[in-house]
Amino acid sequence: MSKIKTKIIKVDPENLKEERVKEAAKIIKRGGTVAFPTETVYGLGANGLDERAVERIFKAKGRPQDNPLILHIAFKEQLEELVEDIPEEAFKIMEKFWPGPLTLIFKKSAKVPDKITGGLSTVAIRMPDNKIALKIIELAGIPIAAPSANTSGRPSPTNASHVVEDLCSKINMVVDGGSTGIGVESTVLDMSGEIPMVLRPGGITYEDLKLLINNVELDKSIIKDDENIIPKSPGQKYKHYAPKGEMTVFSGDVENMVSSINYFAKKYIKEGKKVGIMATEETKSRYSKGTVLVMGSRENKESIAKNLFNIIREFDNLDVDIILAEGIDTIGIGRAIMNRMKKASGNNLKRV
């Protein structure tokens, strides 16, 4: 792939001046690629109605062609020309959760290029809750296709330096708007079938959705760890977030996790391996061996979601051979966190 010069601009989301992001919108309108922050993770944006522009996203990320992209919009009116029909319940959901970390799947209209949907008859749409993202979409005046702005297979980027690490010289611009708030990607909810199905857990939790519509279900691939189940969301089947080191996720009673992790840390260190431990505020002082990084507090799982991908990247930079990670409960945002941890470890779970 030929190198391109990546321009990096800093934008203060609290004091957003249209002037600052005009160029980003212009690049996208003309078929280029721009990474920008959303409330979940950074996205790599391109004109969602231009196949050649979308192709540049796939190239820069090294993304498999059959993994469809999310179209990002800034106004609900933009939805109409992109989808075939909007079920009644979807209006209720959008009213409550848009803009926000929730992607909805609908039957696609003829206007949506096949490149976006990987040949599927459905399309994923989301309205992000981030001033910079919304302004860029508004100024570009088109739906913006934006997967997470990482190299395929690596953890999603939660700040601009992660994007630069992966995509420098491969995209036209990075809009640096600081760290993203939520830290895990949006919930993907399929509205195209009989029953609304959560295909990927994320910022809007299953419990949140249940409170609004009671007939929502979790896709089997989320509930079970069975690898034989083919996920409905193509992206869920690929290797994801994989750190360089071999990662194990522990689950069970916190005391048991701490003693197991201590046991394995000692064992691996004795074998001459470099060990990283993903701990929580509550347990960090209980580890005497290995490099301990704190994900956040068990009392505030949002803090864990926010730090998760950064910590996995950090362990790559530290070149650890082994990562021993504490699991957390799957209530609320915990479900999304455990889903990402399991994927990062290649489903290497140890119940203790």
Q: Which residues bind ligand TXA (CB under 6 A)?
A: 38, 40-41, 43, 67-70, 101, 103, 105, 117, 120, 122-124, 126, 128, 146-148, 185-186, 188, 199-200, 232-236
Closer by beta carbon to ligand TXA, 50 or else 326:
50
Least separation in angstroms between residue 41's CB and Mg ion is 8
Residue 199 binding: pick among Mg ion, ligand TXA, none (C-beta 5-8 Å cut-off by kind): ligand TXA
| Residue 64, Ramachandran bin (φ over 0: left; ψ between -120 and 50: alpha; else beta) | beta
Dist. CA 197–CA 122, nearest whole Å: 14
Closer by beta carbon to ligand TXA, 155 or else 235:
235
Least separation in angstroms between residue 136's CB and ligand TXA is 12
Q: What angle do CA 29, 74, 335 make, to 5 degrees?
A: 115
Contact status: 148 vs Mg ion (CB under 5 A): yes
Least separation in angstroms between residue 255's CB and Mg ion is 35
Provide the pairing of β-strand 173-176 with 7-10.
parallel
Least separation in angstroms between residue 37's CB and ligand TXA is 9
**Span near Mg ion by CB under 5 A; candidates 89-97, 148-156, 303-311, 338-346:** 148-156
Residue 137 binding: pick among Mg ion, ligand TXA, none (C-beta 5-8 Å cut-off by kind): none
Going from the C-alpha of 325 to that of each of 223, 224, 334, the distances in angstroms are 20, 20, 14
Contact status: 248 vs Mg ion (CB under 5 A): no
Q: What angle do CA 108, 112, 116 make, to 5 degrees?
A: 100
Closer by beta carbon to Mg ion, 47 or else 148:
148
DSSP state of 84: S
DSSP state of 300: B
Dist. CA 40–CA 111, nearest whole Å: 27
String marking each residue 52-81 x if it binds Mg ion according to CB under 5 A:
------------------------------
Tokens for 121? 């008859």
Least separation in angstroms between residue 274's CB and Mg ion is 28
Residue 123 binding: pick among Mg ion, ligand TXA, none (C-beta 5-8 Å cut-off by kind): ligand TXA
SS (H, E, C) 185-229: CCEEEECCCCCCEEEECCCCCHHHHHHHCCCCEECHHHHCCCCCC
Which residues of this chain interact with Mg ion, rule CB under 5 A? Answer: 148
